[in-house]
Structures are given as C-alpha cells and as structure tokens.
Structure 1
Amino acid sequence: MDTNQFWKERLNSHLKMVSRYMRLIFNDHLAFALIFFVAGFAFFYQQWLETVTDTFPVAWIMAILVGLLLSYSPVRTFFKEADTVFLLSVENRLKPYIKNSIVYSFIMQSYWIAIFIFALSPLYFTVYEEVSSAYLLFVLVFALVLKVGNLLATWFIQKTREQGLHYLDMAIRLVINVFAVFFLAIGQPYYSFIAALLIVGVVFLNYHNVYKKFSLPWDDLIEKEEARLQFFYRIANMSTDVPDLKRKPKKRHGLVRFVTRRMPLRQNQTFIYLYSITFIRSGDYLGMYLRLMLLAVFFAFWIPAFWGKIIFAMLFLFLTGFQFITIYNHHRSLDWIKLYPVPHVLRTKAVHQLILVLMLLKIIVMGVVFFFATDLMGALIYSSLAIAFAVLFEAFYVKGRIRKLGT
C-alpha cells in the first residue's frame, strides 16, 4: 500500500469538493458584499488608527488572537468511516500519511496566522513606531515555529480519550503561546525563546506519556473529521444547496414556546410555524443571525463617520436577508411536507414573512444602537433607510432567489 499516493487521492478529493462549493459561494452577490466589506473596513481602519494613542494594548490583543490561533491546532486526516475496516490493519504503515496530514494542516493554518499578524501590523506600527518591518517578519517566523510545536503536541495528545487531559493540554499551551507572542510584541524575544522551550517540553511529554502508549483512536478522529466537514457544509449551505449536510436540531424548548405560543394554529399558518421552529432549532440559522447582529453593533460603535456606520449597517442587513433564503429548501428531503393539504404558495409566503420579520427585528435593535452611537436623528435616518431597503429587498431580490431555488 502506497500511503503517499493514498494521501494525494484523499487530498485531491477534498480540494475538488471545496473548490466546487467555493465557486458556488462566491459566484453571487455575496462576493461583491465581501469585497465591499473588506474595502470599507480597510478605509475606516486607517481612519481609526489616527486616533490610537501610544498606550493602546496592541501587544495583548496580538498575543491573545495569535495565541488562540497557535493553540487551536487540529490535524486534518481526511479519515472516513470506512477506514476503521480497511486501514485499521495497516495502522503501523500510515506514518507517511500522518506526516502529510501534519504538513497540510501547518500550511493551511499558517495562512490565518499570517493574515492576522499582517492585519494587526498597521495598529502595531502605530503604537510601536520604532519597530521595523523586519522585526514583524521575525515575529511571524517565530509564530510559525511555535505552530509546528502546537500541531505535534495536539496530535500526540490525540491518542488519549481522557477529555480532561485534552483540556489541560490546551490550557497550558494557550498560556504559553499568549505570553510568547506578548514578549515578542513588546520587544523581549529572550522570554519568548523560554516559552518556545516550554512548548517543546509539552510536545516531549505528550509523545512519551500518551502517543507511545496508545493506538490511534479511529472513531474519535473520524468523528472530529466529520464535524469539520459538516462545519464547512453549514457555511456553504448559507449560499447554495448542500445535499451532504447533516442537520442536528437543538431543543430550545423555551424559545420555541415564546415564539409559537401566540401564533394562530390555522391551516394557512402551517409553513410559517414550521420555518419559525426551523430557524430556532437548527444549528445554523439562529447562531448566524446573532453573530451578524453583534458584528453590526460593533461596527456601529467602532466606525467614526456617520455614513460609514450607515453603510456597514446596511451591508449586514443585506447579509441577514441573504443568508436565510436557503431555509426554503431546508426540508427538501422530507417528502411528507409535500403531503400537507396546504397550497404551495403559502410555503413561499412563509419564507418571505420570516425573512422580513428577521430584518425588521434587526432594524429595531440597530435603531436603538444608532441612538446611543449617534443621536436621535441618526437613529431615524438609519431606520428609514433600513425599512425601505428591507421592503424592496424582500419584494424583489428574495422573490427572485426563491423562484430559482424552487426550480
């Protein structure tokens, strides 16, 4: 068995799947919205930097963010459920496969470290004007070296099934990584070298105390790999139809009762009742809605210019409506929905109503936020523009998208 070739086949299959969905995700208005978001964020980020003082705790911000990225170091194995049968007998010959998995994980996770460090670099150079760009490059290289140690430590501890050891290992490495990056940021790399030696010690302990004593926990590795794959599917499902997505509903009985207790139990309310519960209990929609709400609130307070606040608030309002159109096909695999003695037009109407209600709720919240972030006039201007946008968006854009989903 050529495990290197086997790894290449698994990797190629994964990349084809990812590239197919990425084309579908960004082949829409979402790509334009994201480009606009990045450009607007860069513009207001530059304006905000002019107000930053020398006492701003950029070193701690960099240490915490990069420290989290360093500590979270899962190894992508691309193992599948059938591997428990076909690969279990050749486990001792999988070292090249595991090595390739660690290298791939390092490359993919290094991108995020580089992105965060370079995104924070204008803020860092504003506070530490005497620091050269070469030193920041040294910080990046040092962080990547720490990443290798964290990946090895994570993989070695992976063999134990004691979750307490996993949490302890994660906590210890997080503290070490945060202080390692912090000392680098304030210009004291000697302490960072000591922290790096501590990471080496953690790797050594995990290897000798865990990795050498146990075999691969196939079921646990496959379960985590499936969880990462489903996470990507959930993101892709916000923009396109993902047939392989496995949905695990959550109970949330209290919230369901709060929403449905005043809802009339009439035949023409069948689908609005169904989609309301779907929005609450699905693991995708409610969390995404709240995250978009929090981001909109953050930018409303963070961006200094009033019209900048308006633009970003409208952008997040668009994303709120756009992301939840796919709820129309959420129950596409359930044939019994087609047996409802209810006209099909009510299903489309229910999605329209749900999206409009979600946008109006967000407008109310953001109207209050604008009142505190600006003034009463600012809140009225935002609310008027947002209501007009929501009505037009629901009447024209949502209608066209649902028509495409229904075909």
Structure 2
Amino acid sequence: MIDVEKLWRKRRNAHLTQTLKYFSLMANSGLIVSLILLIIVGSIYYAKLLKALPQDFPAVLILTLLFSFLLTKSAIRTLLKEGDLVFLLPVESGMKHYFSKSLSSAIASGSFITLFVFTLTWPIVQVFITDGWKMYITFAFFLIAAKVFNLYVAWEERRLPYKSHQLNYKIMRFIVNFVYVYLLFNEAYVFLIAMFAIMYVLKNFVFEVFKKMHGYQWEMLLAEEQTLKMKGYRLVNYFTDVPALKQTVHKRPLLNKLSTFSFEKKNMMPALFMKTFTRSGDYLGLYIRLVLIGFLFLYLVPPGWWQLAIVLLFFQMLALQLFTLYTQYKWNVIYNIYPIEPRVKITAFIKWLRGLLILQGVLYGVFYGILTGDWVIALLMPATAIVYSLFRLPSLTKKHITLSS
C-alpha cells in the first residue's frame, strides 16, 4: 500500500528544492536589478498617479473586476506525474489525504497572493473608497475568505468530466464573486451576509454532490499540472536556461512571411530565429508586453532627458529575456549538426536581436514624440537603441552564451 502522505511530502520537498534553485539563479541575473529599478520608479510615481486621477474615477468597478478575476482563477498544484495514471489510479480511494494536502497548499499560496494584490491596491482604496487599518483588515479578511471558498469549490469542479461543464460553473462563480466584491467595496455588510448564505448553499448542496457523482478526472488533473509546470518554467526561462521546458508552437500564418526560410548560410539562421520568435513559446507576447509597459512608463514619468535612461533600461530587459531564444536549441541534435560555425550563429543572432531593439526604439520615439511634441528626445530614443546594440549587445550576448554553454 502506498503511503500517500509520505509521497506528497517527498514531491513537495522536491518541488521546493527546485524552486529555490531556480530562484537563486534568477536572483543572480541582471534582470533582477532592472526589476528593482522599475519597482523604485513605479513606487515614486504611484502616488503622483493617484493624485492625477479624477474624482469620478470608477475605482469600485475596476477593483471589483480585478478581484473577481483573481478570486475566480483558482490554480491548484497536484504535483502529479505521468506514471501516476498507472501506479496511483488503483489506489484512488486512498488519495483523499494526498489531494487535501494539494488543496491546503493552494489555499495558503492563494491567500498570500490575494493579500499581496490587495496591499498593492490599498492606496487606491484609501483615496476613493475608505481609509483606516481596521478597514484594511476587514477587506482583507473577506477577500481571503472568498478565495478559500473559490479554491474549495474549484477543486470539486475538477470532478466534472467535461470542460464545458466546468466552464459553466466557473462563470457562475465569477458572477457570485463580482456581486460579493462589489458589495464589499460598497461596505454593504448586511447584503454580504446573504452572499455568504449563497456561498454556503453552493458549497454544501451543489459542489458537495460532485463527490458522490464523479471520481477524480486523472487525465485533466495531469494536464493541468503539466500546464502549470510549463508556465513556471517559462517564467524562469526568461532568466536562465531551463532544459525541461517544452515550447508550444503556434501557427500564426500571417507572421510566417516575416521569416522566409532559405538554405543559404547567410539567411538560414536569421530565418530560424525569426520563426522561433513569432511562433514558439511566448517570445512575441513578451516583446509586445515590454513595449506596452514602456509606453506606460513614458506616459507616467514627466518628460525630460531621463526618459532616455528608462528606454535604455527596457532595451536591457528585452535583451536579457530574449537570450534564452538562442539557447533554446542547445539540446537539439539537428540544430547542432548544422554545417554552420558557432561564430556565424552568434553573429546572426546579434544582428537579429539588434533589429528588434531598433524597432523597439523607433516605437518608443514615435510614441514619445506624439505624446510630448519633443522630437529631439524622440529621435534620440532609436539612436540610443542603435548605440546600445552596437556597443553593449555583442559583449552581453557572448557573455550570456558562454555562461549557458
């Protein structure tokens, strides 16, 4: 008989060990310094942004939507492996304690994330809704209680055999969460008691029935665990090489024209890098997000020469995060037997990345010029990208590739 509690502890300890290992590698990355600088700049202008918001700013509606999504989204790490479909399925009746440990772990992490997000948005609550440490504790308590409820019923939802049925109940939870959070931020505590009654009925007379009707959906639980694991790997892969990462390939036929493939040595590597960028993993989404976040900082920070330092920081962030694209093929046998010298591959990668950085600089310059009318600084932004890509990028690229080899 398998000791499921011992099995859970073993897998949890292995997961924590791996997480700490990757966290230490992330902490040694230069990107951490960039993020710290962004946090410092963001904290400085957070207060200024609050003062600039109009009195009729719909804070209640925006916070209600934010926390409704946050409460409804209920990820649960089960730490299942593919072999469990063979070895643990026969002892399904004894897996209750194993999955209860998974749920308890998800409740702890979910409660922490909910409290963290609420703490970040607390200044908005202070300005537009209410103030005082008692209200902070009250709001935090009700939000964490709702998160615990959502995680519990979301786990029972996973017993349903069809994704469409799970989606229907998830939509129902979102509606309940929306009303609940809206009443909370309007301090309608009498109606909140009624919402608690509805939650109680849902928990004990709807979702509790699933236990009697359906067993564990092992294939779905395993697929969800693999998805959550790959998301974590993709996050770490922005900082350091993760051999276990499985990339998802997207079709994106309209973007294939940007990377017409050619077997000539001078064109082969740039085409491969562009195809990887547009179709593999989340590189394209990362690029778009960084550009949009850069727009936000250019909008919030007062105009001036220091804007060049901000765009330079975003160039550094983009370069550091796209270096993993080059090392993605390190374990690919076919890529390694290409009759192309490593020097040629590195040179092609630098030229390709230089093009993305210059495009990023042009976008920032156009946005800043339209926003402020100061076209002198706007023209200096793509010029800064060119200078950075010519002098800083080659040495940084070779250093990163050497360390990851």
Deviation by residue 1:165-194 (Cα, 9 ceiling, x = unmatched): 211111111122122122211222222332
Q: What is the alpha-carbon distance in structure 2 between the residues aligned to residue 286 and residue 213 of structure 1?
A: 43
Deviates more, 1:386-395 or 1:43-52: 386-395
Tell me if 1:377 matches 2:373. no
The Cα of 1:208 is off from its aligned counterpart by 4.1
CA distance 1:371–1:17, change in 2 (3 Å): same
Q: What is the alpha-carbon distance in structure 1 between the residues aligned to residue 302 and residue 192 of structure 2?
A: 36
> Secondary structure of the residue that 1:50 maps to in structure 2?
helix
CA distance 1:308–1:137, change in 2 (3 Å): farther
CA distance 1:41–1:177, change in 2 (3 Å): same
AA at the equivalent of 1:153: V
Q: Where does residue 392 of structure 2 map in the other structure? A: 393
CA distance 1:156–1:371, change in 2 (3 Å): same
Deviates more, 1:188-197 or 1:355-364: 188-197
Select which of 310, 334, 337 maps to 1:336: 334
Q: Where does residue 355 of structure 1 map in the other structure? A: 353
Q: Where does residue 179 of structure 1 map in the other structure? A: 179
Contact 1:329 1:405 in 2 (8 A): yes
CA distance 1:59–1:311, change in 2 (3 Å): farther
> Secondary structure of the residue that 2:243 maps to in structure 1?
coil
The Cα of 1:401 is off from its aligned counterpart by 1.6
Contact 2:26 2:240 in 1 (8 A): yes
Q: Where does residue 243 of structure 1 map in the other structure? A: 243
Structure 1 unaligned segments of length 5 or more: list them: none
Q: What is the alpha-carbon distance in structure 2 between the residues aligned to residue 233 and residue 321 of structure 1?
A: 19
The Cα of 1:138 is off from its aligned counterpart by 0.8
Tell me if 1:154 matches 2:154. yes
The Cα of 1:264 is off from its aligned counterpart by 6.3
CA distance 1:131–1:308, change in 2 (3 Å): farther
AA at the equivalent of 1:215: G
Q: Where does residue 259 of structure 1 map in the other structure? A: 258
Deviation by residue 1:311-360 (Cα, 9 ceiling, x = unmatched): 44332221111111121221122222233222221111111112111111
Q: Where does residue 273 of structure 1 map in the other structure? A: 271
Kindly report which structure 2 residues correspond to 1:3-402, keeping only aligned pairs within 5 A, or say none.
3-128=4-129, 130-256=130-256, 258-261=257-260, 266-306=264-304, 309-375=307-373, 376-402=375-401
AA at the equivalent of 2:391: L
How well do the aligned residues superpose, as a CA RMSD in angstroms?
A: 2.0
AA at the equivalent of 1:59: V
AA at the equivalent of 1:71: T
Q: What is the alpha-carbon distance in structure 1 between the residues aligned to residue 305 and residue 54 of structure 2?
A: 25
> Secondary structure of the residue that 1:324 maps to in structure 2?
helix
The Cα of 1:78 is off from its aligned counterpart by 0.9
Deviation by residue 1:114-140 (Cα, 9 ceiling, x = unmatched): 111111111221223x53221121111
Contact 1:156 1:206 in 2 (8 A): no
Q: What is the count of residue pairs matched by the alignment? A: 403
Deviation by residue 1:75-131 (Cα, 9 ceiling, x = unmatched): 221111111122112211122222111110011111211111111111221223x53
Contact 1:180 1:193 in 2 (8 A): no
Contact 1:125 1:131 in 2 (8 A): yes
AA at the equivalent of 1:358: L
User: Equivalent pairs: percent with the same residue?
Assistant: 25
Deviation by residue 1:16-50 (Cα, 9 ceiling, x = unmatched): 11111111112121111111111111011122222
CA distance 1:49–1:304, change in 2 (3 Å): farther
Deviation by residue 1:214-234 (Cα, 9 ceiling, x = unmatched): 111111101110110011111
The Cα of 1:13 is off from its aligned counterpart by 0.9
Q: What is the alpha-carbon distance in structure 1 between the residues aligned to residue 390 and residue 200 of structure 2?
A: 58
CA distance 1:97–1:308, change in 2 (3 Å): farther
Q: What is the alpha-carbon distance in structure 2 between the residues aligned to residue 320 and residue 390 of structure 1?
A: 12
CA distance 1:203–1:81, change in 2 (3 Å): same
Contact 2:114 2:147 in 1 (8 A): no
AA at the equivalent of 1:76: R
> Secondary structure of the residue that 1:212 maps to in structure 2?
helix
CA distance 1:369–1:122, change in 2 (3 Å): same
Q: What is the alpha-carbon distance in structure 1 between the residues aligned to residue 170 and residue 330 of structure 2?
A: 40
Q: What is the alpha-carbon distance in structure 2 between the residues aligned to residue 309 and residue 193 of structure 1?
A: 50
CA distance 1:386–1:179, change in 2 (3 Å): farther
Q: What is the alpha-carbon distance in structure 1 between the residues aligned to residue 45 and residue 238 of structure 2?
A: 28
CA distance 1:40–1:338, change in 2 (3 Å): same
The Cα of 1:383 is off from its aligned counterpart by 3.2
The Cα of 1:309 is off from its aligned counterpart by 4.7
AA at the equivalent of 1:207: F
Deviates more, 1:324-333 or 1:203-212: 203-212
The Cα of 1:307 is off from its aligned counterpart by 5.3
Structure 2 unaligned segments of length 5 or more: list them: none
Deviates more, 1:265-274 or 1:161-170: 265-274
Q: What is the alpha-carbon distance in structure 1 between the residues aligned to residue 164 and residue 204 of structure 2?
A: 19
The Cα of 1:366 is off from its aligned counterpart by 1.4
> Secondary structure of the residue that 2:81 maps to in structure 1?
coil
AA at the equivalent of 1:347: K
Deviates more, 1:138-147 or 1:240-249: 240-249
Deviation by residue 1:373-392 (Cα, 9 ceiling, x = unmatched): 22223422433334323333
